[in-house]
Amino acid sequence: MLDFHKMNQQLEDKDKPLRWLFLDLNSYFASIEQELRPELRGKPVAVVPVMTDATCCIAASYEAKAFGVKTGTMVSEARKLCPEIRLIEARHKLYVEYHHAIVQAVESCLPVAVVMSIDEMACRFMGGEQAVEKATAIAKNIKRAIREKAGRTLCCSIGLAPNRFLAKVASDMQKPDGLVVIRPADLPQILYSLKLNDLPGIGGRMHQRLQLYGIRTMEQLCALPKPHLKKIWSGIVGERFWHWLRGDDIVEPATQRGTVGHSHVLPPDLRTEEGAYAVAQKLVQKAAMRLRKMSYYAGGLQLSLRFVRDRGWSAQTSMVECQDTLTMLEALQMLWQQHPAGKPLAVSTTLFDLVPSHLHNLSLFEDPKRTKLMQAMDAINAKFGTDKVYFGGIHEVKHAAPTRIAFTSIPDLF
């Protein structure tokens, strides 16, 4: 007798093979420090932006996590939770260098399709790679390649699934050094043991919204029809969730960048008017260089200051759509003249109203000489180092505001 249910399931599996591999580097910053310093291995370690109890941990080793220390834990609290914790000041440029070495190691096994952040990337399987046995073998080869070509103690968690969303979910299901496969035949039951906020895109607010709709378990979420999910999410994202939870590999729309910015807590010797302004100029120059590399134009600049007595100030101005640093520095100078008196503690600059180059409208106010100057500076810095050519206003602070990494962005060495 023919088993029609089994035949239908086999047809579904054929339509939805394992198309994606998602890789998550475990406790990345802390793991790099333990790789470079053998005396830290097996010890609770936290990476911090500066050596002070008034900041928070930006990474924690698994040994520290066992004591309750995690990303965002204040250093003073981390010391209470784990008196033996070793605090290490972040070395962001080094983490970026390791990131590129890891990408190369992964690509020796499978091309990297998307880099989501410094510690996350995804690869697409093609053809025969989509079979479970072949995909699993590739994942194991990637783990081996990272250890052999990047760092012998570095480990990662890998998820394999029919779409990238579920591959990321799978990568979070077993840490550290996990390898989890979500096959089409496993859906949706394999998700039932998860909490709603284990899914990417379900943060605190969305979790509360789901609760208001009476959705408290993953099983309830997976059972909802497409129109209900669309209503809960108030739009197309809910419809995408319906497809993702069923293993559909739908095309994700390209996202447009909204802002580019940098911030810096001033060291004691730069907590002056002159020091803060020089750092602000450097932050603008870094943001402008990133903007040009991304092929965007900016239509506005925001300047924000935080003062020693816990007081903040912010102002912004519009600009002619531009990429050149000089126009941005002129806008910064105008904003700086508006700031209130006080001892500055931190400064940030943000470029907003971003427009992709292909949508940029030419203006009569654009100066082609400035464009050529920026192109020449970028070419020199790309070849010889990012601080070889710069505007004189930052000379005294060119080593301040070094490279910092946001986990949710692709790292740059600017």
pLDDT in tens, 104-123: 999 999 999 988 888 999 99
CA–CA–CA angle 148, 37, 141 (5° rounding): 15
pLDDT in tens, 73-93: 999 999 999 999 999 999 988
Number of neighbouring beta carbons within 10 Å of residue 64: 27
* Banded pLDDT at 403 (limits 50, 70, 90): low
Dihedral sign computed on CA atoms, order 194, 200, 203, 205: negative
Confidence class for position 147, pLDDT limits 50, 70, 90: very high
Which residue, 391, 317, 396, is CA-closest to 350? Answer: 317
357 or 211: which leads in pLDDT? 211
167 pLDDT tier (thresholds 50, 70, 90): very high
Q: What is the DSSP letter of 260?
A: E
Indicate which residues carry an active-site annotation. Answer: 120
What average pLDDT does range 197-224 have in this prediction?
94
The pLDDT score that the predictor gives to residue 410 is: 47
* CA dihedral for 46, 47, 51, 55, sign (positive or negative): negative
DSSP collapsed to 3 states, 264-330: EECCHHHCCHHHHHHHHHHHHHHHHHHHHHCCEEEEEEEEEEEECCCEEEEEEEEEEEECCHHHHHH
The predicted pLDDT at position 407 comes to: 46
Tokens representing 6 are 């089994």
| Cβ pair 26, 158 in contact under 8 A | no
Whole-prediction pTM value? 0.69
Residue 324: pLDDT band with limits 50, 70, 90: confident
Is pLDDT of 362 > 70?
no
Q: Which two tokens stand for residue 263?
A: 């911030």
Q: What is the DSSP letter of 217?
A: S
DSSP string, 120-183: EEEEE--GGGGSHHHHHHHHHHHHHHHHHHT-TT--EEEEEESSHHHHHHHHTSSTTT-EEE--
Pairing of the two strands 20-25 and 120-124: antiparallel
Q: Which two tokens stand for residue 315?
A: 């102002």
- How far apart CA 219 and CA 376 sit, in angstroms, is 57
**pLDDT tens digit string along 267-322?**
888 899 999 999 999 999 889 988 888 888 999 999 999 998 778 999 999 988 88
Q: Which two tokens stand for residue 127?
A: 């053809």
**Helix, strand or coil for residue 89?**
strand
According to the model, what pLDDT value does residue 390 have?
56
Angle among Cα 310, 312, 316 to the nearest 5 degrees reads 170
pLDDT score of 127 more than 90: yes
Return the SS3 of 37: coil
Say how far apart CA 83 and CA 69 lie, in whole Å.
11
Q: Could you give all domains of the chain from N- to C-terminal order, each with its CATH number?
A: 12-185 (3.30.70.270), 187-253 (1.10.150.20), 260-397 (3.30.1490.100)
pLDDT of residue 384: 62
pLDDT at 257: 72
For residues 394 and 411, give the distance between their C-alpha atoms in angstroms, rounded to a whole number. Answer: 23
pLDDT of residue 408: 47
> In this structure, are residues 85 and 40 in contact, taking their beta carbons and an 8 Å threshold?
no
Mean pLDDT of the chain: 86
Q: H or E element: which one contains 45? A: strand 45-48
- Report for 247-256, 351-360, 368-377: range of highest mean pLDDT: 351-360
26-53 as b/e: b if 16+ CB within 10 A: bbbbbbbbbbeeeebeeebbbbbbeeee
Nearest to 245 by CA among 267, 216, 225: 225
pLDDT at position 125: 96
Contacts 24+ apart (CB under 8 A), 245-249: 245/166, 245/187, 245/188, 245/191, 245/221, 246/187, 246/188, 247/16, 247/161, 247/162, 247/163, 247/166, 247/182, 247/184, 247/187, 248/16, 248/162, 248/163, 249/16, 249/19, 249/20, 249/162, 249/163, 249/164
Angle at 144 between CA 143 and CA 150, to 5 degrees: 85
